[in-house]
């Protein structure tokens, strides 16, 4: 890593410690309780002042223009606080949407959607998943329909687990323009401003995590009108374009969780360093040392897999396999690390007196979000079978 990145990491870390963690601690990581969009505006203002805002965004839109491998340590530093990514404008789903727009959007779409997103003036949501039996871990089950109407389309359907939907300025809606549910083709992405008639947040799904601004929502779309220039990318190429978003979004997730897991780990190591039981410091007791070491191993392996995948993406490859490996290992490792951190801190560990329980709570769903571990494993297995399964 260059010294430029080292410096940015150090400044990010200092900013998080000083400006963000105190708020997170006060509100036990509940972003709505801490002020929601108002909190976001305040933190982003401070991040801009600290020169750590939007490290991922293109320079032309005011960002720092970092590549994937460069992002890794910066996003990790931001992820140390559950509110850190929000402060730097690198939280999901905005960060992935920005990446997608950067690659696929037309000039006009960039000005209208990408620019305010990069500057933090708007939030966005990626409306793909649906309630059963629609698109969930299996995108091919997509049921939301965009049917032709004059020059445009009318979109009707139901979306579920749409992160950040409440308060988003616009949605990227995946709808079927051809084919049938359970066929893998025929999806198109549409850019839909939140004030467009017929799109409506039904409810927040009450999930265990509470740090994602705008919640995980259920959306109703009834005859939402979209025009030709609302199409993002090419017609019927929605699943293909989603791949563009997929790889980097997976990796930045891992970067952020890694930061949270690392903080839980450090909290626990400090805790056991300051306490004794049965006449010996906890930190010198073998079962505690085992948990510390296993955390170190999990964190180091996640970092190594992450960096390997980042380099593949930075070299211009899709990195389907490498990003799956980093995601599935990273999500499970972060969960284990947080769980061990909770255990090491005993009663305090399951309370809001320390950040461990809240980090564990926030990390748990990521073994499901963004592709459950089981689906990633299925995909990894199939690749291996294609690679090694032939006769020899």
Q: Which of residues 113-172 bind a second copy (CB under 8 A)?
A: 129, 132-133, 136-138, 140-141, 160-161
Q: Which is nearer to a second copy, 98 or 283 (CB)?
A: 283
Q: Helix 320-344 vs helix 286-314: angle between axes, to the nearest 10 degrees?
A: 160
Query: Which pairing describes strands 216-226 and 199-204: parallel, antiparallel, or unpaired?
Result: antiparallel
Please, what is the minimum distance in Å from the beta carbon of residue 176 to a second copy?
17
**Closest by Cα among 193, 194, 161, 190 to 176:** 190
3-state per-residue secondary structure call for 96-164: HHHHHHHHHCCHHHHHHHHHHHHCCCCCEEEECCCCCCCCCCCHHHCCCEEEEECCEEEEEEEEEEEEC
Q: Which is nearer to a second copy, 90 or 269 (CB)?
A: 269
Q: Which residues contact 205 (CB under 8 A, 6 or more apart)?
A: 160, 161, 215, 216, 217, 218
Where does this chain touch a second copy (CB under 8 A) — which range of 37-45, 114-122, 194-202, 362-370? 362-370
Asked if 343 touches a second copy (CB under 8 A), the answer is yes
Please, what is the minimum distance in Å from the beta carbon of residue 352 to a second copy?
4
- Three-state DSSP class for residue 55: coil
Q: Which is nearer to a second copy, 166 or 230 (CB)?
A: 166
Q: Which is nearer to a second copy, 121 or 296 (CB)?
A: 296
Which of 108, 148, 197, 279 binds a second copy (CB under 8 A)? It is: 279
Which of 7, 26, 180, 374 binds a second copy (CB under 8 A)? It is: 374
Where does this chain touch a second copy (CB under 8 A) — which range of 6-14, 100-108, 232-240, 356-364? 356-364
Which of 292, 310, 312, 359 binds a second copy (CB under 8 A)? It is: 292
Where does this chain touch a second copy (CB under 8 A) — which range of 29-37, 44-52, 113-121, 277-285? 277-285
Site for a second copy (CB under 8 A): how many residues? Answer: 89
Strand partners, 189: 174, 232
Asked if 294 touches a second copy (CB under 8 A), the answer is yes
Q: How far, in Å, CA of 243 to CA of 10, rounded?
A: 32
Which of 14, 315, 318, 378 binds a second copy (CB under 8 A)? It is: 378
Q: Contact letters (x/-) for a second copy, 235-274, by CB under 8 A?
A: ------------------------------xx--xx-xxx
CA distances from 104 to 172, 237, 243, 258, 331 (A): 12, 11, 11, 29, 28
Where does this chain touch a second copy (CB under 8 A) — which range of 61-69, 112-120, 142-150, 203-211? 203-211
Please, which of residues 299-338 interact with a second copy by CB under 8 A?
A: 300-301, 303-305, 307-308, 322, 325, 328-329
Asked if 181 touches a second copy (CB under 8 A), the answer is no
Asked if 202 touches a second copy (CB under 8 A), the answer is no
Q: Which residues contact 42 (CB under 8 A, 6 or more apart)?
A: 35
DSSP string, 285-332: SHHHHHHHHHHHHHHHHHHHHHHHHHHHHHTT---HHHHHHHHHHHHH
Which of 42, 50, 152, 373 binds a second copy (CB under 8 A)? It is: 373
CA distances from 286 to 336, 340, 344 (A): 18, 14, 12
Q: Helix 286-314 vs helix 238-273: angle between axes, to the nearest 10 degrees?
A: 150
Please, what is the minimum distance in Å from the beta carbon of residue 284 to a second copy?
8
Where does this chain touch a second copy (CB under 8 A) — which range of 45-53, 62-70, 241-249, 342-350? 342-350
Q: How far, in Å, CA of 232 to CA of 102, rounded?
A: 11
Q: Which is nearer to a second copy, 52 or 363 (CB)?
A: 363
Please, which of residues 52-91 interact with a second copy by CB under 8 A?
A: none
Q: Which is nearer to a second copy, 1 or 49 (CB)?
A: 1
Q: How far, in Å, CA of 324 to CA of 313, rounded?
A: 12
Which of 4, 227, 276, 315 binds a second copy (CB under 8 A)? It is: 276
Asked if 357 touches a second copy (CB under 8 A), the answer is yes
**Closest by Cα among 145, 235, 231, 220 to 181:** 145
Which of 2, 3, 197, 206 binds a second copy (CB under 8 A)? It is: 206
Exposed, middle or buried by CB within 10 Å (0-12, 13-18, 19+), for 221?
buried
CB 266 within 8 A of CB 344: no
């Amino acid at each position: 890593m260059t010294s430029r990145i080292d410096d940015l990491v150090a400044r990010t870390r200092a900013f998080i410690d000083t400006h963000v963690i105190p708020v997170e601690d006060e509100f036990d990581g509940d972003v709505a309780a801490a002020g929601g969009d108002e909190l976001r505006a305040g933190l982003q203002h401070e991040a801009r002042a600290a020169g750590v805002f939007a490290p991922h965004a293109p320079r032309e839109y005011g960002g720092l223009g970092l590549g994937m491998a460069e992002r890794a340590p910066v996003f990790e530093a931001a992820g140390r606080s559950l509110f850190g990514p929000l402060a730097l404008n690198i939280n999901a789903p905005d960060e992935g949407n920005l990446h997608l727009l950067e690659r696929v959007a037309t000039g006009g779409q960039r000005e209208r959607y990408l620019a305010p997103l990069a500057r933090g003036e708007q939030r966005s949501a990626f409306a793909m998943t649906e309630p059963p039996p629609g698109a969930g871990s299996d995108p091919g089950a997509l049921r939301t329909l965009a049917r032709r109407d004059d020059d445009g389309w009318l979109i009707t359907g139901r979306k579920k687990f749409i992160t950040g939907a409440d308060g988003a300025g616009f949605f990227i809606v995946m709808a079927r323009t051809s084919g049938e549910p359970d066929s893998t083709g025929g999806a198109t992405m549409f850019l839909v401003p939140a004030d467009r008639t017929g799109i409506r947040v039904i409810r927040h799904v009450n999930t265990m995590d509470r740090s994602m601004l705008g919640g995980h929502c259920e959306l109703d779309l009834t005859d939402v009108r979209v025009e030709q220039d609302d199409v993002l990318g090419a017609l019927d190429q929605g699943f293909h374009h989603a791949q563009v978003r997929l790889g980097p979004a997976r990796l930045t997730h891992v970067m952020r969780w890694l930061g949270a897991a690392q903080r839980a780990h450090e909290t626990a190591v400090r805790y056991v360093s300051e306490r004794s039981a049965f006449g010996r410091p906890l930190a010198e007791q073998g079962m505690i040392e085992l948990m510390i070491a296993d955390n170190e191993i999990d964190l180091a392996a996640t970092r190594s897999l992450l960096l390997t995948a980042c380099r593949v993406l930075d070299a211009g490859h899709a990195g389907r396999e490498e990003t799956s490996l980093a995601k599935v290992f990273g999500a499970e490792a972060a969960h284990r690390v947080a769980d061990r951190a909770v255990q090491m801190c005993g009663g305090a560990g399951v309370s809001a007196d320390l950040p461990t329980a809240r980090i564990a709570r926030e990390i748990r769903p990521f073994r499901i979000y963004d592709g459950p571990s089981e689906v990633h494993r299925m995909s990894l297995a199939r690749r291996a079978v294609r690679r090694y399964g032939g006769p020899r």
